[in-house]
């Protein structure tokens, strides 16, 4: 990603989840104390789907499994001693689970004839915000033969509940960026692959209204003002702190 100062959906979301966590990650660039294997899994799975979108239907399940193994191995090795598995997780178990999920992904692939772009990067300005908002659309397709639709791939431990996609801030950020870059607001679709015993894919469509995009821009202005004022307080909760990669450091004293 761009080394010049910028906002990403992930940075915004981290600040909104816990400002102290934001400071550790984006101000201090503190090393992670622990890094769940699920993140390496998600990145590797994502890399394979991107490869599938680029190479088309020639890309086989064996290619996908081989690709996953290579990326997952590199990701887990890069995490070093910080890497943590859940009690019932192992490297081989993750590889096997990914194989089952990739089989579902390739069988249910629906975007070969409608692709507009794969891994399209964006950098847009938001009025009143100093830093640009940057990111990358996993895939953009033409829904119904004409309407642009951003597709984002996710892995999840369980099936998404109905309505979740409508509140996902990432979809709002990406629709905002697409509208700035292309002049109109697209549809958004999450393809969510579940790690269930029998993996499934859920296609969750959502749209963003003009008011939602306006509120998103206002939120960005507010977050940037807070960061510029160094408002890095702790937002302690079981959900936030349970697997926080900076928990030990936070308990000892917070940011410098």
Q: Under the rule (CB under 6 A), what is the footprint of ligand SF4? A: 18, 20-21, 234-236, 240-241, 244, 246-247, 250
Quick one: which of 40, 44, 49, 48 has its CA closest to 86? 40
Of 131 and 234, which has the nearer Cβ to ligand SF4?
234
Of 1 and 239, which has the nearer Cβ to ligand SF4?
239
C-alpha dist (Å) from residue 4 to 1, 53, 134, 161: 9, 29, 11, 37
Q: Are 226 and 189 in contact (CB under 8 A)?
A: no
Supply the minimum distance, in Å, between the C-beta of residue 155 and ligand SF4.
22
Supply the minimum distance, in Å, between the C-beta of residue 107 and ligand SF4.
39
Supply the minimum distance, in Å, between the C-beta of residue 25 and ligand SF4.
9
Supply the minimum distance, in Å, between the C-beta of residue 157 and ligand SF4.
20
Q: Are 38 and 156 in contact (CB under 8 A)?
A: no
Q: Are 98 and 90 in contact (CB under 8 A)?
A: no
Of 157 and 242, which has the nearer Cβ to ligand SF4?
242
Take residue 177 and report the two structure tokens written for it.
């960026």
Report the SS3 class of residue 95.
helix
Residue with tokens 């469509």: 205
Q: How many CB atoms lie within 10 A of CB 108?
A: 12
Of 89 and 243, which has the nearer Cβ to ligand SF4?
243
Quick one: which of 146, 128, 114, 216 has its CA closest to 175? 216
Phi, psi for residue 122 in degrees, rounded to 5:
-140, 155
Of 173 and 244, which has the nearer Cβ to ligand SF4?
244
Pairing of strands 35-36, 83-84: parallel
Supply the minimum distance, in Å, between the C-beta of residue 15 and ligand SF4.
11
Q: Are 16 and 9 in contact (CB under 8 A)?
A: no
Of 127 and 253, which has the nearer Cβ to ligand SF4?
253
CA 93 to chain centre: 23
Of 43 and 234, which has the nearer Cβ to ligand SF4?
234
Q: Are 133 and 178 in contact (CB under 8 A)?
A: no
Supply the minimum distance, in Å, between the C-beta of residue 239 and ligand SF4.
9
Supply the minimum distance, in Å, between the C-beta of residue 109 and ligand SF4.
37
């Amino acid at each position: 990603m761009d080394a010049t100062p910028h906002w990403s959906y992930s940075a915004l979301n981290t600040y909104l989840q816990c400002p102290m966590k934001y400071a550790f990650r984006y101000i201090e660039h503190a090393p992670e104390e622990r890094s769940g294997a699920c993140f390496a899994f998600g990145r590797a799975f994502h890399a394979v789907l991107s490869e599938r979108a680029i190479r088309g239907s020639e890309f086989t399940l064996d290619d996908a499994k081989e690709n996953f193994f290579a990326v997952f191995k590199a990701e887990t090795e890069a995490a070093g001693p910080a890497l943590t598995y859940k009690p019932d997780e192992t490297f081989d178990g993750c590889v096997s689970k990914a194989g089952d999920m990739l089989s579902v992904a390739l069988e249910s692939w629906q975007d070969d004839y409608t692709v507009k772009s794969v891994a399209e990067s964006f950098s847009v300005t938001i009025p009143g915000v100093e830093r640009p908002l940057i990111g990358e659309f996993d895939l953009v397709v033409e829904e119904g033969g004409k309407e642009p639709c951003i597709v984002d791939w996710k892995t999840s431990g369980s099936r998404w509940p109905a309505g979740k996609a409508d509140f996902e801030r990432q979809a709002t950020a990406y629709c905002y960026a697409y509208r700035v870059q292309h002049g109109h607001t697209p549809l958004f679709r999450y393809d969510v692959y579940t790690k269930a015993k029998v993996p499934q894919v859920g296609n969750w469509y959502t749209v963003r209204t003009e008011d939602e995009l306006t509120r998103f821009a206002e939120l960005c202005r507010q977050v940037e003002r807070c960061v510029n004022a160094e408002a890095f307080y702790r937002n302690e909760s079981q959900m936030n702190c349970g697997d926080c990669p900076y928990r030990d450091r936070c308990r000892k004293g917070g940011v410098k």
